[in-house]
Amino acid sequence: MRSDAAPTRRPRSEHWVAPLEETPLQAVDAADTSTAPRSLWAEAGHSLVRNPVFVVSALLILFVLFVAAFPQVFTSQDPRYADLTTANQPPGAGHPFGTSRLGYDIMARTFWGARTSVVIGFFAMIGSTLIGGTIGALAGYLGGWFDEVISRVTDVFFAIPLILGAIVVYTRLGEMNLWTVIAVLSVFGWTNVARIMRGAVISTKSQDFVTSSIALGASSPTVLLKHVIPNAIAPVIVTATVNLGVFIVAEATLSFLGVGLPTSAVSWGGDISAARDALRTQPSMLFYPSVALAVTVLSFIMLGDAVRDALDPKARKR
């Protein structure tokens, strides 16, 4: 039976559209598209200058570098001149930090010791980065049996502690000089850089721009040097920055143990070792070189953390 009554419509909800000024599209439309976007390094630099941790650590490092380059600006005393008539003096006129048991001026040795520590840390960092970066890049890019061999060699070196390896070399060579210490730290300190570079290269070589370069006929050395390494170097830079502080501590540890630089060298580790017996009677002998060492190492570690956060897009706060 048909009904002549008109069918009833179901109630429908009303559609409401928010005004354009109340939607996120307004912020998108307001973006400046007239300028080219920043590169990774430009964005990292922009982020670093706004990071107070980076600013403080960079200022401290610049001060340490200035002290290492021009220690005579802060003291006119000869750090190797020993005057037994003025030995064990407390801080006072002529000797603001006091004197040691042999009559050395503690202030002069603290400022001049920065040069030795910074030089060893810097060149050991350069050497270990070059060794580890080259080995890791080749292993990650070539892969196959070469990667397997390099990985096993890296495991062998990774199992040897840095300080223990230096002690073994010392027992074979005897007293080491500055360049010997740098070589030892470089030979036994490249493993972390190699592992990080290998992982970064493996991740980068699978990117589309690398595949495009290979398809266009670029040779393997060209692809590795011009495309892979520049895009995989960021985590290596962070590791190298932190390693600089690690190598400074390693040199101080070796000098403290008596297996590093000779006793005639002016270094923070040697002065800390010489001040052990005078800890209760004259703590200033230990205090000043220890504080200088701690501040320097802490500055490089803070700098490495700030650079890591700036170069990691996932960790960077926008």
Which contacts qualify for 165-172: CB closer than 8 Å, 24 or more apart?
166/250, 166/254, 166/259, 166/260, 167/254, 167/257, 167/259, 170/254, 170/259, 170/260
Report how far residue 117's alpha carbon sits from residue 56's, in angstroms, rounded to the nearest whole number.
Answer: 21
CATH of the domain at 127: 1.10.3720.10
Assigned domain for 189 exists: yes
Q: Is the pLDDT of residue 9 over 80?
A: no
User: In this model, does residue 25 exceed pLDDT 80?
Assistant: no
112 close to 265: Cβ distance less than 8 angstroms: no
Q: How far is CA 85 from CA 88, 288, 294, in A?
A: 9, 22, 31
Residue with tokens 């692809």: 223
Average pLDDT, the chain: 82
End-to-end CA distance of the chain: 69
Q: Is residue 147 part of a domain?
A: yes
Q: pLDDT tens, 230-245?
A: 888 888 988 898 899 8
Is 269 contained in some domain?
yes
Tokens in use for 211?
């595949």
Residue 213 resides in a domain? yes
Q: Is 92 helix (H, G, I), strand (E, B) or coil?
A: strand
pLDDT band at residue 1 using 50, 70 and 90 as cut-offs: very low
> Quick check: 225 pLDDT over 70?
yes
Q: Is residue 6 domain-resident? A: no
Residue 127: is its pLDDT beyond 90? yes
Encode pLDDT of 258-316 as tens digits.
887 887 888 888 888 888 777 777 777 888 889 999 999 999 988 888 888 887 655 55
How much of the chain, in percent, has pLDDT values that exceed 70? 85
Q: What is the CA radius of gyration of the chain?
A: 29
Give mean pLDDT, residues 5-28: 56
Beta carbons within 8 Å of 136's beta carbon, 6+ residues apart: 193, 194, 195, 196, 197, 198, 201
User: Phi, psi (5° rounding) for residue 75?
Assistant: -155, 145
Residue 228 covered by a domain:
yes
Owning domain of residue 54: 40-71+120-311
> Residue 58 in contact with residue 303, Cβ under 8 Å?
yes
Q: Which tokens go with 49?
A: 């200058």
Q: The pTM is what?
A: 0.80
Kind and range of the H or E element at 34? none
In a domain, 300, yes or no: yes
Q: Span 38-63, mean pLDDT?
A: 81
Span 148-166, average pLDDT: 87
Q: Considering its fold, how many domains does the chain have in total?
A: 1
Q: 3-state SS of 250-273?
A: HHHHHHHHCCCCCCCCCCHHHHHH
| Cβ-defined contacts of 292-297 (< 8 Å, 24+) | 292/110, 292/113, 292/114, 292/268, 293/117, 293/248, 293/249, 293/252, 293/268, 293/269, 295/60, 295/64, 296/60, 296/61, 296/64, 296/114, 296/117, 296/118, 296/245, 296/248, 297/245, 297/246, 297/248, 297/249
Selected residue with higher pLDDT from 20 and 112: 112
Whole-number Cα distances in Å, 75 to 67, 68, 70, 124, 225: 10, 12, 10, 28, 46
Q: Is residue 268 assigned to a domain? A: yes
Band of residue 4 on the pLDDT scale cut at 50, 70, 90: low
- Quick one: pLDDT at residue 318? 46
Query: Position 316: which residue type?
Result: R
Q: What is the DSSP letter of 183?
A: H
Q: For 62-118, what is each residue's pLDDT tens digit? A: 999 999 999 998 888 888 888 777 777 878 777 888 888 888 888 889 999 899 889
Backbone dihedral angles phi then psi of residue 95, each to the nearest 5 degrees? -140, 80
Other beta carbons within 10 angstroms of residue 37's beta carbon come to: 7
Would you say residue 134 has pLDDT above 90? yes
What are the backbone angles phi and psi of residue 99, rounded to the nearest 5°? -125, 160
Long-range contacts of 148-151 (CB under 8 A, 24+ apart): 150/194, 150/198, 151/198
Region class of 174: left (phi > 0), else alpha (psi between -120 and 50), else beta: left
In DSSP notation, 220-241 reads HHHHIIIIIHHHH-HHHHHHHH
